[in-house]
Amino acid sequence: MGVTRPPAERAALRAWVRLLQAHKTVLGCVREELSGEVTLPRFDLLSNLDREDGQTLAQLSRRMLVTAGNLTGLVDRAERDGLVERRADPDDRRATRVHLTRLGKKLYAEAAARHSRRIAGRFEALEPAELEELARLLDKLLGKEPAR
């Protein structure tokens, strides 16, 4: 019960708890929208491929922070549903490159548009400057230079 902690820990913990709540709340609101069709890990996959098509599983694994074994399953399911396809890498016979299909692109574009509108609505409580600041703080937390 209400264990006492150093102030620095308390502040960090407070921020982390908020971050968890915000994640869960916004996610719940996003899920309604994407509903079945696209799960978040799948959306993450499509989004990565949209940014750079034809990545290898190893690349995706590193970027998405998902183990290779689980990525196989994720890509399997996306391929089964006709959203992506595997193609052999001509230069490295160990490697497989993953490409968005036309359906995958279409579905991603639609989902991203709805997603984006929904997110914008959900974040409306924050002023533009506050949005910037939130993104900046999270970037700093992630150890990245603020993006432009």
Partner DNA sequence: TATTGTTATACTCTATAACTATA
Partner DNA sequence: TATAGTTATAGAGTATAACAATA
Smaller CB distance to a copy of itself: residue 92 or 139? 139
Residue selected from 58, 62, 67, 116 as contacting a copy of itself according to rule CB under 8 A: 116
Q: Taking CB under 8 A as the rule, does residue 139 contact a copy of itself? A: yes
Residue selected from 67, 87, 106, 141 as contacting DNA according to rule CB under 7 A: 67
Q: Taking CB under 7 A as the rule, does residue 115 contact DNA? A: no
Distance CA 3, CA 129 (A): 36
Place of tokens 């399911």: 77
Place of tokens 């996003």: 30
Tell which residue, 89, 98, 82, has the closest CA to residue 47. 98
CB of 58 to a copy of itself, least distance (A): 18
Mention every residue, 6+ apart, whose C-beta is less than 8 A from residue 2. Answer: none
Q: Taking CB under 8 A as the rule, does residue 103 contact a copy of itself? A: no
Q: Which of residues 5-44 bind a copy of itself (CB under 8 A)?
A: 5-6, 8-9, 11-16, 18-26, 28, 40, 44
**Cβ 126 vs Cβ 134: under 8 Å:** yes
Residue selected from 31, 86, 87, 140 as contacting a copy of itself according to rule CB under 8 A: 140
Distance CA 31, CA 49 (A): 21
